[in-house]
Structure 1
Amino acid sequence: MMPWHYRGDPLAEAVTGRLRERRASLGGAAATVRRLADEGDVDCQRLWADMDAVPDWVDFGLMRRGGAMAQRHFPHLILGLTYGCLPLTFAHPDAAAIFVGTGRMQANISRRLNESASLFFGVCDSDALAPGKAMWEACLHVRLVHALVRTKCLSDGWDQLNHGMPVSQLATAAGPAFFGAHLLDCMRRLGARIRDEEAAGYCLIWRYTTRLLGVPLELLGETQQQQDGFDSWLMSRFFAPDDTAKTIMASLLDGLCSLPPTSRLPRSLQVALFRRMLGDEMADGFGIPVSHGGERALSMMRPMLAGISRLQKVPGASKGLGHLGQRILSRLATEGLVSPASAGTAN
């Protein structure tokens, strides 16, 4: 699998080159790529066709059940993604170096939180991942952004021989490991009760999302069992936080503690959430301290979260939680984890 660490996404990189030639922005990227493809641009046609091809293993019905589970467990999902998954995106030295080099984390932590939220929470509506739908277009946008980041890093002198391609195919292939199986473990640690079919559906959402982000089929499992094998190897390969990752982790914690609405949670509780979601070994790797006060607060919070999961067995409660979660996650996907005004993303 390691040769993929030295490969980017030629289809997306060619299209970003076309967009630069035409002085076109990434705003409304899907419409622009579609228009250029209709006008005969071969690079845009190839990228569109690659995005449009749905793998045989995609099952929208199964993904719908996984997404519904996530919506009903929206508190567990939000906490798991924020405190258990987001840190993994800079857990490798190369990823941490890219964040620092582009200024996307340390220069504007709030904007980074909201950029991540748009994808993390938006894919719970799995129907929106169908070709041409809203989250499908969002994945196309992210894929092009990754191509631009690669181009910038290489032009700035990135050491490709020693560090591989920035935002490589292999690194992007860690998506199902970070946001699928690991996230489900995080949610269960908070008391979520997830059926096997729901877990399979949610993991499939992230396998398909990762394909839409440009990862080749060779790096994705045709079955969940095969994907589990890939995920285990990728987690062992890409969790290696260095001093830069620890600095970013400290910035992330500071941002969450200073920006509304997450600032309403005591810092000690947020520290405890990071440790619970990541596990002691990963938390130690990031330099996250132990907070006994935060652990006590979390121990009082967990029964409430477990109660939300048990409540879903009450007639009518499951449907109500699903509707509420759908509205909340949709708003988070649009506005972000922190207030748009704080993030500098307000209209």
Structure 2
Amino acid sequence: MLPFFTNEKSDVLDSYGYKFRLTELHMTSEQLDPLKHKFDEVGSDALTVIDSMFPPPPPRAGWNDKPKNEDPRPDRDTYALLRDNHGSDPKLQALWDEVNSVPDWVDWDQIKRGQDVFYRYAPAAVAGFAFQGLLATTGASYRPAETLVRTGGHSTRVAKNRLFETFQLILQVTKSLDDVKPGGAGFVSAVRVRLLHASVRDRILKLNAQRPGYFDVEKFGVPINELDSMQSVCAFSTNLVWLALPRQGIYVRHQEALDYLALWRWVGYVLGTPHWVLETPEKALASMESLLHDCLNPSKNSKVLAQNLVNALDGVAPIYEPKEFFEAGTRFINGNKMCDEIGIGKPGIYWDAVVRGQAWALMLVTYVSRSIPALDRWQIAPVSKGGSSCGERISSLGNRDHQFRE
């Protein structure tokens, strides 16, 4: 095992071109591995009670794949069931109390500033989420891929739904301060996602009990475990601050990083993820680097997921760009080595030039606008309003139970 502190060049680690040196804050493989067998027990216990009181419909093949003659509306609203029945069972009350009890470290003014950070860098941030957070991280993460393929991940249509739903959650938790506070739209969606994850975990484990070998728990851990959740919350927070934006030539200011991490620490808390990784910027950066080093290892299934995501983005509104644009963007931000390993196409010089030109333009506009207070305020307000209206057009996240392939 490598020592934590050393000045030798041999201790510089490289994860697909991202180089860093180990410190006492970094987590080793031995420290990370047990997390794949831990999960959100409070959320799972609450979901078990909800299922006993209001049994879910039988799972269908595919993602919410209802016959044409069946009511297309959601089967049940797990958040509403929790809200209306939390007093009837201690386990429901435990989850309700947890998500509605605001920790002492939450500073609402700081979280509002964190929301502004997202919209200040919105165009580059969205590109970063698409190219790095979704395409690259999904394609290079073998363990979460095993859960995703068992929830319809081999379908391009399902991949498109997941993209919209993920983006919708981001919009809802950044729309306004009231939306991310208890009872707000973003808060409600986060709780629904937490219960959704519990449902997926429960169904996969039950199938594995009925059909041994369906899911290798020893190798991959419990579905949607703490290590998976840690990767997810970092994909939305640390990866944007220290990976996706810098690789587009954009560097957030120190206070902006603190504010943005505070936003996602609160959202991670509501989601039931290991939010402690975002406790300080130093710990957050070390956690991100630890995950980059230990958790990225493309597999056959993760490659399929990445390719399906690219196909799902081909010509989709509101960008209407062909898949070559997304392939070029993914290669620009993540490098050729990772993209070759996950099977991202090589679109050629033209699309590479388009993406690089876009990055230069966004970098110029971003630095100019944020340096002029009036222009900065003008940019944040209309973008946040426009983003919110866009999110409202996307089908509601979590209003339906998660349907998955059996």
TM-score for the superposition, normalised by structure 2: 0.76
- Aligned residue among 289, 301, 321 for 1:265: 321
The correspondence of residues 292-331 of structure 1 with structure 2, limited to 5 A, is: 292-309=349-366, 310-314=368-372, 316-331=374-389
Instruction: Give the superposition deviation at 1:327.
Output: 1.6
Q: Deviations over 1:253-303 (max 9, x none)?
A: 1111143333x2243322111112323343233222333221111222223
Q: Deviations over 1:206-264 (max 9, x none)?
A: 222222111256x53432212222222122222111121111111111111143333x2
3-state SS of the aligned residue for 2:378? helix
Contact residue 204 and residue 223 of structure 2 kept, 8 A = yes
Cα distance in 1, alignment partners of residues 132 and 147 from structure 2: 20
Q: Does 2:20 align with 1:6?
A: no
Contact residue 233 and residue 273 of structure 2 kept, 8 A = no
- Aligned residue among 99, 110, 114 for 2:148: 99
Cα distance in 1, alignment partners of residues 324 and 86 from structure 2: 52
Paired letter, 1:175: S
3-state SS of the aligned residue for 1:103? coil
- Aligned residue among 280, 287, 295 for 1:238: 295
Cα distance in 2, alignment partners of residues 284 and 137 from structure 1: 39
- Quickly say closer, same or farther: Cα 1:325–1:142, change in 2 above 3 A: same
- Quickly say closer, same or farther: Cα 1:324–1:188, change in 2 above 3 A: farther
Paired letter, 1:256: L
Cα distance in 2, alignment partners of residues 96 and 216 from structure 1: 20
Contact residue 91 and residue 245 of structure 1 kept, 8 A = yes
> Which residue of structure 2 aligns with residue 343 of structure 1?
none
Contact residue 37 and residue 221 of structure 2 kept, 8 A = yes
Instruction: Give the superposition deviation at 1:315.
Output: 5.2
> Which residue of structure 2 aligns with residue 139 of structure 1?
190
Cα distance in 2, alignment partners of residues 174 and 228 from structure 1: 12
Paired letter, 1:327: K
> Which residue of structure 1 aligns with residue 334 of structure 2?
278
Q: Does 2:180 align with 1:129?
A: yes
- Quickly say closer, same or farther: Cα 1:322–1:105, change in 2 above 3 A: farther
Cα distance in 1, alignment partners of residues 394 and 194 from structure 2: 19
> Which residue of structure 1 aligns with residue 247 of structure 2?
189
Contact residue 250 and residue 363 of structure 2 kept, 8 A = yes
Contact residue 60 and residue 126 of structure 1 kept, 8 A = no
> Which residue of structure 2 aligns with residue 334 of structure 1?
392
Cα distance in 1, alignment partners of residues 240 and 168 from structure 2: 17
Contact residue 177 and residue 235 of structure 1 kept, 8 A = no
Q: Does 2:281 align with 1:224?
A: yes
- Aligned residue among 141, 164, 176 for 1:114: 164
- Quickly say closer, same or farther: Cα 1:194–1:223, change in 2 above 3 A: closer
Cα distance in 2, alignment partners of residues 312 and 52 from structure 1: 35
Contact residue 181 and residue 203 of structure 1 kept, 8 A = yes
Gaps in structure 1 of 5+ consecutive residues: 338-347
- Quickly say closer, same or farther: Cα 1:205–1:212, change in 2 above 3 A: same
Cα distance in 1, alignment partners of residues 278 and 357 from structure 2: 39
| Structure with the largest fraction of helix | 1
Cα distance in 1, alignment partners of residues 250 and 154 from structure 2: 30
Contact residue 104 and residue 112 of structure 1 kept, 8 A = no
Q: Does 2:97 align with 1:46?
A: no
- Quickly say closer, same or farther: Cα 1:3–1:234, change in 2 above 3 A: same
Gaps in structure 2 of 5+ consecutive residues: 1-30, 57-74, 209-214, 396-406
Cα distance in 1, alignment partners of residues 113 and 297 from structure 2: 34
Q: Does 2:206 align with 1:149?
A: no
Contact residue 139 and residue 298 of structure 2 kept, 8 A = yes
Paired letter, 1:270: F
Instruction: Give the superposition deviation at 1:85.
Output: 0.5
- Quickly say closer, same or farther: Cα 1:272–1:336, change in 2 above 3 A: farther
Contact residue 138 and residue 306 of structure 2 kept, 8 A = no
- Quickly say closer, same or farther: Cα 1:206–1:248, change in 2 above 3 A: same
Contact residue 172 and residue 180 of structure 2 kept, 8 A = no
Instruction: Give the superposition deviation at 1:165.
Output: 0.4
Cα distance in 2, alignment partners of residues 221 and 178 from structure 1: 12
Paired residue total: 334
Greater C-alpha radius of gyration: 2
- Quickly say closer, same or farther: Cα 1:130–1:228, change in 2 above 3 A: same
Cα distance in 1, alignment partners of residues 246 and 180 from structure 2: 25
Instruction: Give the superposition deviation at 1:24.
Output: 6.2
- Quickly say closer, same or farther: Cα 1:59–1:235, change in 2 above 3 A: farther
Q: Does 2:221 align with 1:164?
A: yes
RMSD across aligned C-alpha pairs, in angstroms? Answer: 2.3
Paired letter, 1:164: G
Contact residue 92 and residue 241 of structure 1 kept, 8 A = yes
Paired letter, 1:23: F
Cα distance in 2, alignment partners of residues 70 and 216 from structure 1: 22
Q: What percentage of aligned pairs have identical amino acids?
A: 24
